[in-house]
Chain A
Amino acid sequence: MLRFTMRRLLQMIPTIIAVALLIFVIFSVVPGSFASSLMADGKTASDPELLARLNEQFGLDKPVYIRAWEYLSGLAHFDLGTSFRTREPVLDVINDRIWASLKLSIAAMVFAIVIGVPLGFIAALRPGSVLDSITMIGAVSGLSMPQFWLGLLLMYFFALVLGWLPSFGYGGGDLKYLILPAITLGVTPLALLARTTRAGVLEITNEDFIRTAHSKGMSNSRVIRWHLMRNVMVLVVTTIGLQFGSMMGQAVVIEKLFSWPGIGSLLIDSVSIRDIPVVQGTILVIVLWFLLINTFVDIIYAAIDPRIKQT
């Protein structure tokens, strides 16, 4: 088990290097730089002399491959560089923001799992029932509605009309501020989980070993607890992992919408002023999160399904 985990963790390194290089390539193609964005006040034409001096100061005059190499060797020492804007180490900038993002992602995922999985279960045990139809219609709506639109609706209804919850902001960590963004972010995975769970239960119900279980004289609830649940979980865990992994990336829009001081809003702000080290850092964090969650899911897999070899 330990070796399996270690190997999976080591396998992440090439992916991280590839992503870091890709971001370098993209930003060497995109027009504009931090220096030009500093001077773009819209009134004066930019002074080429000043531009050159700023570029030199931030090391932007060096060829892209040299900067890439410097960045990667820094990365090997867990040095993500320095923010152009605040002159702080990127690691500190991210450290200020990551916890808010983690809090939001975890809250959204817990919301999705706690409601989505049982809903899918109940729907599948009574296929064709009213509850089943409502769940599935809700799931399709949840999947097809743009998240920012849902966020706006929730904001309008719960903050403006009812006045129960604050409309946006972090509130210094007050849980009241977490509810709306977490629900908004959690609706898509919730809908997906409900559907996956329902499909999984229906699939497993038709398996031969469920018939065997019934032929042993088990009650329905025992068949579900002893034989159905775990087999369905194998299917559901995949969806949970994929959704949870991509959540940091999806949170970008939601964080901006709710002025949530997380990685996502940091990313958007940094892109617009071409603060490349911070952009690099945040994207790396998002990728790293995805990889970590996936590794974790693989480990859980191996734990619940004996057919998966732990090599």
Chain B
Amino acid sequence: MTDTPLLELKNLHVGIPKRDGYLDIVKDVSFSIMPGEAFGLVGESGSGKSLTALSLIRLLKKPLKVSKGQILFKGRDLQTLSDREMRGLRGERIAMIFQEPMTALNPLKTVGRQIAEMFVLHRGMGWAEAGRKAVDALASVKVPAPEERVLAYPHQMSGGMRQRVMIAIALACDPDLLIADEPTTALDVTVQDEVLKLIGELCAARGTAVLMISHDLGVIANMCQRVGVMYSGRLVEERDTYDLFAAPRHPYTKGLLGALPRLGTRHGAAGRQRLVDIDGLIKDREALLQEFCFQPRNTIRDPRLRADGAA
């Protein structure tokens, strides 16, 4: 591994334009991913994980915009690239897998054709050759009978199979970075594990770096060397996975870990150990800008969570 990071986020802010500046939803997020490294991003729904990911490939939906900060990919600021240059990177160098395999594929096209598009777009192949490559790609994600399956339509496949197709599409051009946004959340538990292993194996074999986004700490713990914890648009903690699980620093991380069921411990009724939940709810976003960010959740009070970042 070299010393220069593959991806570097510097003080990234994502927000909605207002009359006087921006209403930021992702605030001051900085982290970096080394080539071939797996980095995990955890946090609850609405904490800004997905927005951070989408801003990386410049697919934020209007009116959301990157309001401040830099996104450096191999040292180049992605924001300064032209649309054409960005398209060259998307799918080719930075690929993405989405949460919902049921809707992420076009229902009217065969999966083979949807994989083959990658080779036509980025490798300049004709459809016939790209179609043959699609069979190989499908075989590489361990779909049985790939020669027949390329002719199948998404609705003829299970959720797990479709997510494999998505992985085949994402890895078709051997990207440097794979962004996996909750890739297993919509799947059955048994399938989740297979899909995660598949992503792990394939990326390790190809030296692809992974940005794994999940609200499931278990998923992250299995796959990632380092973890960032996001809460309410901020990166509140960023550590080695092992250290984080051994000794979480931030009260929110402690809360998250406390909420995990553990094998061998009984949870639930009558005198047994209860799962810990974090009190309170995220307040509305305007309020979050001014106040103590985590304070409304009243079990934990920590002055470090001030909105202005003052310790």
The reply on A41 being an interface residue by CB < 8 A is no
Contact between A231 and B106, CB atoms less than 8 A apart? yes
- Whether A207 and B103, one on each chain, are in contact in the complex, defined by CB atoms closer than 8 angstroms, is yes
Chain A nearest CB from B82 CB (Å) reads 12
Within 8 A of B (CB), among A192-247: 207-209, 211-219, 222, 226-227, 230-231, 234
Known: A304-B108, A306-B153, A307-B155. A215 touches B91 (CB 8 A): yes
**Is the CB of B89 closer than 8 A to any CB of chain A?**
yes
A209 close to B59 (CB less than 8 A): no
A305 at the B interface (CB under 8 A): yes
Question: CB-CB < 8 A to B84: which residues of A?
Answer: 219
Cβ contacts A70-100/B at 8 Å (1 or 0 each): 0000000000000000000000000000000
Which B109-133 residues sit within 8 Å CB-CB of chain A?
109, 117-118, 121-122
- Please tell me if B100 contacts chain A, counting CB pairs below 8 Å: yes
**B59 to A215, Cβ gap below 8 A?**
yes
Q: Does B31 contact A (CB under 8 A)?
A: no
Check B59 against A234 for contact (C-beta < 8 Å).
no
Shortest Cβ distance from residue B145 to the other chain A in the assembled complex, whole angstroms? 18
Closest to A218 in B: B121
A307-B59 in contact given A208-B98, A216-B117 (Cβ < 8 Å):
no
Q: Give the distance to chain B from A113, nearest Cβ to Cβ, in Å.
A: 20
Residues of B with C-beta under 8 A to A208:
98, 100, 103-104
- CB-based contact B153/A218 at 8 Å: no
Residue pair B90, A213 in contact (C-beta under 8 Å): no
Task: Give every chain B residue within 8 A of A216 (Cβ-Cβ).
Answer: 90-91, 117-118, 121, 169
Q: Which of A207, A208, A211, A216 has the most CB of B within 10 A?
A: A216
CB distance from B246 to the nearest CB of A (A): 36
Distance to closest chain B CB from A227 (angstroms): 5
B203 within 8 A of A: no
Contact A234 B108 (CB under 8 A): yes
Residues of A within 8 A of B59 (CB): 211, 214-215
Docked Cα-Cα span, A227 to B113, in Å, equals 11
B104 adjacent to A212 (CB under 8 Å): yes
Q: Mark B227-265, 1 if CB is under 8 A from A, else 0.
A: 000000000000000000000000000000000000000
Residues of A within 8 A of B293 (CB): none
User: Which of B95, B107, B122, B155 is close to A215, meaning CB atoms less than 8 Å apart?
Assistant: B95
Considering the chains assembled together, what is the distance between the CA atoms of A114 and B169 in angstroms?
A: 36
Cβ contacts under 8 Å, B87 to chain A: 217-219
User: How many chain A residues touch the partner (CB < 8 A)?
Assistant: 22
Nearest-CB distance from B161 to chain A (Å)? Answer: 16
Tell me the smallest distance from the CB of A236 to a CB of chain B, in Å.
14
| Bound CA–CA A215/B106 (angstroms) | 13
Bound CA–CA A171/B119 (angstroms): 57
Chain B residues lying within 8 Å of A212, measured Cβ to Cβ, are 98, 104-106, 166, 169
Q: A208-B104, A215-B90 are in contact. Are A226 and B117 (CB under 8 A)?
A: yes
Residue from the set B88, B91, B106, B153 with the largest chain A CB neighbour count within 10 Å: B106
When chains A and B are docked, how far (Å) is the Cα of A209 from the Cα of B108?
11
Residue-wise interface mask of A (263-288) relative to B, using a CB-CB cutoff of 8 A (1 in contact, 0 not): 00000000000000000000000000
Distance in Å from the Cβ of A225 to the closest Cβ of chain B?
11
**B122 & A217 in contact (Cβ 8 Å cutoff):** yes
Evaluate whether A230 and B117 lie within 8 angstroms (CB atoms) in the complex, with A306-B153, A307-B153 already known.
Answer: no
Q: Are B100 and A215 in contact (CB-based, < 8 A)?
A: no
Question: A219 CA to B87 CA in the complex, in Å?
Answer: 7
Contact of A209 among B104, B122, B153 (CB under 8 A): B104
Question: Which B residues from 65 to 108 make CB contacts under 8 A with A?
Answer: 84, 87-92, 95-96, 98, 100, 103-108
Indicate if the CB atoms of B98 and A217 lie closer than 8 Å: no
B220 at the interface (CB under 8 A from A): no
Least Cβ–Cβ distance between A215 and chain B, in angstroms:
5
| A230 and B59 alpha carbons, distance in the complex (Å) | 23
B92 and A217 within 8 A (CB)? yes
CB-CB < 8 A to A304: which residues of B? 108
Could you list some 5 contacts between A and B, CB below 8 A?
A: A208-B103, A209-B106, A209-B107, A217-B90, A230-B109
Task: List chain A positions with a Cβ less than 8 A from chain B.
Answer: 207-209, 211-219, 222, 226-227, 230-231, 234, 304-307
Closest 9 CB pairs of A and B: A217-B91, A217-B90, A208-B103, A216-B91, A209-B106, A306-B153, A215-B96, A217-B87, A208-B104
